[in-house]
Amino acid sequence: MPINSVYQQEDTVKRIKQELKKQKQMPSVQLFEFFTPDVYHQLKRKLTQLTYKRSTELLHHRYATKKLPAKFFSEEIIEAIQRLVNTEKQIKFTAYCFSWKDYQVLHDKKVEKPGTDIIFDFSDKWQDDYGGHIVYVDGRGNYITTPVQGNTVSIVKRSSSIQKFVQYVNNHGKDKKRLFVIATFS
Amino acid sequence: MFPFIKLMLRTFGYAEGQDIPEMHLLNFWLAPQYLEQITMQRLREEFQKQKPFPHLSLQHFFHEARLEELKKAIDEEKFTQKTSDLFSFKQTKDFFNCKNKVIKAFYDFLRSKAFMVYMEYLTGLKFKRNQVDLAATLYEDTDFLLPHDDRLEKRKLAFMTYLSNLRKRDGGTLVLYNEKGKAVKKVLPLANTFCFFAVSKHSLHEIEEVVGKVQRLTVGGWYHAH
């Protein structure tokens, strides 16, 4: 089993869906220890061995990224995710690697369409004061920050008013890598 | 006649050969070399030629004693943490309502017709009279301002006076980018340097993160279009 058995149980899946439905402003859930430890370490090893491409658009972002091949996650994992967010759509995975001086800011010309973000966090031993948090804002002063913790999955439902940015990674985290994967549906 | 003097006479409605009392205000604040005809003409030409967009960085711009007084006064002001996706720093309120006499005098000088005419001469731009945004900003370890162009609310000229000295390894440099996003110039903060640039779609710049136990203190703001 690649996924923590808790998240395979019908009852848990039902509760996650209910929680996402119940929250009105910025629906989100965090699933800690999502993968079994062996699978998590195996996936992380694969992620750290990838060659990332640096991407800079000064007014929007500075980071390294890599589109993951379809078979990066097993069928079992993909089916579990589809079950959690109630979709049969194809899922595409993009890995992001943030290091010192990297960021992603809000930009009028980079507005994201409403949808669901699934973020797989692979950042271990990351301290809060390094920056690099993924922050969702609704433009009315409300915000949520997803936890930076390895083996955590965050599911965030975005309406048209909700956008996200990634905090600047500062010199306190200059020797560290902030790794996460974002799943999108098509 | 020196075109700047001609401009001052015309602005204040004096006849040729008459004394221009407003020059005393400029003399009071600015270092003498920056009121010399040759220097002003050279700076006026340089401003337009600068890459990647019109700007100048003028060292020892104010009388040292005035600036030391100003720094002492600003050190007593309250700074509030400002954080967003784009920046992290500490800033005072706009000095429009500041009660401190030294800061108020500096504010009044920057929005005086005499100094605005001086800046219009150097930059070739026209500013809305009697209006200036002015606040002090403090960057400490991990503070930053990511790339942006400053275009907002009819801003025409951005300016800042550095009140502290930083070394290259401390960060905090002002980085100017060209249209391709390449860093073309870096301005290291040196106390009593007055730096300004024309705000446009080309004025892409950032303040690099400050690293370590140093303080980057500036007082700056914007002049506006009519």
- pLDDT tens by residue, chain B, 226 residues: 788 898 889 888 999 888 888 899 999 999 999 999 999 999 999 999 999 999 999 999 999 999 999 999 999 999 999 999 999 999 999 999 999 999 999 999 999 999 999 999 999 999 999 999 999 999 999 999 999 999 987 999 999 999 999 999 999 999 999 999 999 999 999 999 999 999 999 999 999 999 999 999 999 999 999 8
Number of domains present in the structure of chain B? 1
Please check whether residue B2 lies inside any domain of the structure. Answer: no
Show residues of chain A in contact with B146, CB under 8 Å. 103, 105, 168
Q: Which of A58, A165, A172 sits opposite B142 (nearest CB)?
A: A172
| Residue B85, domain member (yes or no) | yes
pLDDT tens digits for range B146-158: 999 999 879 999 9
Contacts with A63 from chain B: Cβ below 8 Å? none
ipTM confidence: 0.92
Residue of B142, B169, B205, B206 to mutate when probing chain A, most A C-beta within 10 A:
B142
Round to whole Å and give the CA distance between A82 and B179. Answer: 43
Q: A131: nearest CA in chain B?
A: B142
**In chain A, where the domains are located:** 5-185
Q: Is residue B98 part of a domain?
A: yes
Q: B interface mutation test: which of A55, A56, A59, A134 has the most B CBs within 10 A?
A: A59
Q: What is the domain range of residue B207?
A: 19-224
Q: Is the peptide bond before A114 cis (omega within 30 degrees of 0)?
A: no
Please check whether residue B165 lies inside any domain of the structure: yes
A78 touches chain B (CB under 8 A): no
CA torsion sign, A86 to A92 to A97 to A98?
Answer: negative
**Nearest Cα to Cα of residue A77 among A148, A157, A179, A181:** A181
Beta bridge partners of B196: B56, B159
Query: Has residue B8 been placed in a domain?
Result: no
CATH of the domain at B111: 2.60.120.620
C-alpha to C-alpha distances, B35 to A138, B40, B43, B125, B195, nearest whole angstrom: 51, 7, 11, 18, 17
Token representation of residue A81: 């995710």
Gyration radius of chain B's alpha carbons: 17
The distance of B74 to chain A (nearest Cα, Å) reads 27
Probe site for chain B from A98, A137, A171 (most B CB atoms < 10 A): A171
**Crossing angle of helices B22-29/B101-110, nearest 10°?**
120
Quote the pLDDT of residue B3. Answer: 87
Tell me what pLDDT residue A186 has. Answer: 63
- Indicate if the pLDDT at residue A158 is higher than 80: yes
Residues of chain A contacting residue B175, judged by C-beta atoms under 8 Å apart: none
Second-level CATH architecture of A5-185? Sandwich (2.60)
User: Which of A56, A59, A170 is the closest to B209 by Cβ?
Assistant: A170
Rounded CA separation A168/B88 (Å): 9
Backbone angles phi, psi at B157, to 5 degrees: -140, 125
A119 close to A182: Cβ distance less than 8 angstroms: yes
In a domain, B219, yes or no: yes
Is the Cβ–Cβ distance between A150 and A180 less than 8 Å? no
